[in-house]
Amino acid sequence: MTDGNDFTKPEPRNPSREPRVPHQPVLLREALEFLSVRPDGVYVDATLGAGGHAAAILDVLERGRGRLLGIDRDPTALAQASARLSGWHEKVMTMQGNFAEIDALHAASGLPPADGMLADLGLSSMQLGDASRGFSFSLPGPLDMRMDPQSETTAEAIVNHTPERELADLIYQLGEERHSRRIAREIVKARPIRSTTELAQVVTRAIPSRAGLYNLHPATRTFMALRLAVNRELENLESFLSKALSVLAPGGRLVTISFHSLEDRPIKQAFQSWKREGRASILTKHVVRPNEDEVRTNPRARSAKLRAAEKRGLGAGD
């Protein structure tokens, strides 16, 4: 599945691999190791999704002592995860919200500062595999792409109402698509465009046929750019990073899993500046990648990058 989370690591086009299976948590063992989950600790999963990482954390938490706050922007994902985690109801609290406001969400939970927080970015397999959400170019659906259905902007609004030049810039910057100008021109000619498959056809038409030789659907980067724009994903990530340390207790850990370089870059930079300022230490000298076995059983993992940092402890002069 290449149309959802990333485009950096192409996989062969094969619609039969579109996810109809439940979401499998990526880098699960590694995330748990870096979070160093304690049975009496307080944890925040800022991107609850299907609740896969959260379930593994809850497994370690002791009843009556450990607590987990699970957050997601998407009310459908939140409802599914809440149902899945209901067996642990005395240890878990779920909240709909945008992790850009992580400090306010954490404060509203009434929980003490967290011993660990996870942000597993991007889309879940459920979101990508649900044609009605419009995230996938290979499933016919409306051009929506909103993680939170209350947000104002849809992909359809961007595709049909953005001036050509601005659209080309958006596709270039957020999709790193070198054919962005041709694509924007074709889109403007074909307006109005209402469905995912219509847009995928227009983009395919715009791209020179030689470009199809590489192992990536021609619409991958354009869909990626639109999804990032609709959900303001990079802006939200910046805001999350500016607030994340304030949610953690001294010695608390932040673990991030990202799926493309536009997400990984600000994380790496934030970690480096925290280190320079003496606010946190970096636990992952080199980025952590999934092993071959994981990529074989879960192709979505193939471009995942895990990074972890630890907030400076009280003993270090706080």
Ligand X SMILES: C[S@@+](CC[C@H](N)C(=O)[O-])C[C@H]1O[C@@H](n2cnc3c(N)ncnc32)[C@H](O)[C@@H]1O
Contacting residues toward ligand X, per CB under 6 A: 23, 25, 47, 49-53, 71-74, 77, 98-100, 120, 122-124, 147, 236
Could you tell me the smallest distance in angstroms from the CB atom of residue 137 to ligand X?
Answer: 19
Could you tell me the smallest distance in angstroms from the CB atom of residue 109 to ligand X?
Answer: 14
Structural contact between residues 108 and 246, judged by C-beta atoms closer than 8 angstroms: no
- CB nearer ligand X, residue 185 or residue 232: 232
Could you tell me the smallest distance in angstroms from the CB atom of residue 24 to ligand X?
Answer: 8
- CB nearer ligand X, residue 230 or residue 245: 230
Smallest CA-to-CA distance from 300 within 52, 78, 25, 48 is with 25
Structural contact between residues 90 and 65, judged by C-beta atoms closer than 8 angstroms: no
Could you tell me the smallest distance in angstroms from the CB atom of residue 248 to ligand X?
Answer: 17
Structural contact between residues 239 and 25, judged by C-beta atoms closer than 8 angstroms: no
Could you tell me the smallest distance in angstroms from the CB atom of residue 251 to ligand X?
Answer: 23
- CB nearer ligand X, residue 123 or residue 174: 123
- CB nearer ligand X, residue 96 or residue 160: 96
- CB nearer ligand X, residue 50 or residue 183: 50
Which residue's CB comes closest to ligand X? 49
